[in-house]
Amino acid sequence: MSDNQATGTDVMAIEVQGLSRRFGRHLALDDVSLKVPVGGVFGLVGLNGAGKTTLIKHLIGSLRPHVGNVRIFGTSPIEDPVTVLGRIGYLTEEDSLPRWLTVRQLFEFGRSVYPTWDDEYAASLCERFQLRPNEPLGTLSKGVRARAGLLAAIAHHPDLLILDEPSSGLDPIARRDILEAIISGISDQGRTVLFSSHLLDEVARVCETVGVMSNGQLLPPETLDTIQSQYSEWIIQSNVRPVISKALDTQGDGAEWSIVGPASMSEQADFPSDRVIEHRPMTLDRYFSARVHRSSDEQTEQALEVAS
């Protein structure tokens, strides 16, 4: 039975409200709010240093909010870490598995920590991931160790799987055949996944909703369906930078320009004197760059207004 069926309420798998975090003078998270419903697959994307890992560390309770609060299935990971961590599977990009353990000992550790650890499932994953139980984690290649980390993150059937750049250690075949299959499998079982990745094509294949982080802010998340149906990209030729009032973002080099805007923009009405040479469907890649570009411009404008 899901949390919501059990309680008759709309408990979110993840609920973050007004979360801000400073490291010294640097504002790493700036008033972040996020709701991920139970069963959702949420993609978190952003440039290096945007604040993704800092947000994730608050979700697992390894950082305490300075301002704002975090609830996982309605519970604070700071106030009740045992309950929250028991329901989370977590894989980070950092290669942090203890190297002195063998794969088998990693299983034993998992079994001792998680009451829901599933030996049979772990053994089947071990075979599928081509892991040898007696091999020390320290002698495995980075990619094989990343597979062991993934196994340790999911063999207790977590209600919420949090993957922070899991692909950095995995080769392309492992990413496609293992990671994507696991994410879809977990979501099919009504469990929740938060997936942070630089690989936008991968995010587009597995996630339903995507949130873009830019300089510590989380821009309003959108579903992939909305991104693809509500936005479009136009390539136009123009010797001057085109000014299109409804455009979300304009990027170019002085002769050819890429414009992103609402799919409802009309080539006749909205690009009157410019030559449209191509009208492309929206990709997550271009949407991401449009959002980050626009958000940086807005943040620069705000900083200039404050300074003047």
Ligand X SMILES: Nc1ncnc2c1ncn2[C@@H]1O[C@H](COP(=O)(O)OP(=O)(O)OP(=O)(O)O)[C@@H](O)[C@H]1O
Give the whole-angstrom CA distance, residue 211 versus residue 195. Answer: 10
Output 43 or 261, the one with its CB closest to ligand X.
43
Q: Which is nearer to ligand X, 101 or 219 (CB)?
A: 219
x-or-dash string of contact with ligand X, 208-247, rule CB under 6 A: ----------------------------------------
Which of these, 287, 297, 251, 262, lies nearest to 43 by C-alpha position? 287
Contact 291, 212 (CB under 8 A): yes
Least distance (Å) between residue 28 CB and ligand X: 4
Q: Shortest approach of ligand X to residue 248 CB, angstroms? A: 22
**Residues touching ligand X, count (CB under 6 A):** 11
Dist CA 137 CA 134 (whole Å):
9
Nearer to ligand X among residue 34 and residue 244 (C-beta): 34
Using the minimum distance from each CB to ligand X, give the nearer residue, 53 or 258: 53
Does 166 bind ligand X (CB under 6 A)? Our answer is no
Query: Least Å distance between CB 53 and ligand X?
Result: 3
Distance of closest approach, residue 132 Cβ to ligand X, in angstroms: 31
Q: Does 66 bind ligand X (CB under 6 A)?
A: no
Q: Closest separation between CB of residue 198 and ligand X, Å? A: 7
| Polymer length in residues for the chain | 308
Structure tokens at 193: 């996944």
Question: Taking the complex as a whole, how short is the minimal distance between the CB of residue 85 and ligand X, in angstroms?
Answer: 20
Of 129, 65, 121, 52, nearest to 92 by C-alpha is 52
Bridge partners of 257?
A: 236, 252
**What DSSP letter does each residue of 77-88 carry, written as one string?**
TTT-HHHHHHHE
Nearer to ligand X, 165 or 233 (CB): 165
Comparing CB distances to ligand X, the nearer of 153 and 236 is 153
**Residues 6-65 contacting ligand X, CB under 6 A:** 23, 26, 28, 46, 48-54
- Shortest distance in whole angstroms from residue 301 CB to ligand X: 21
Q: Give φ, ψ of 128 to 5 degrees.
A: -65, -35
* Residue 194 vs residues 23, 90, 92, 96, 185: alpha-carbon distances, Å: 24, 10, 12, 20, 14
220 membership: H or E segment, kind and range: none
Q: Say how far apart CA 182 and CA 93 lie, in whole Å.
A: 17
Interface with ligand X (CB under 6 A): 23, 26, 28, 46, 48-54
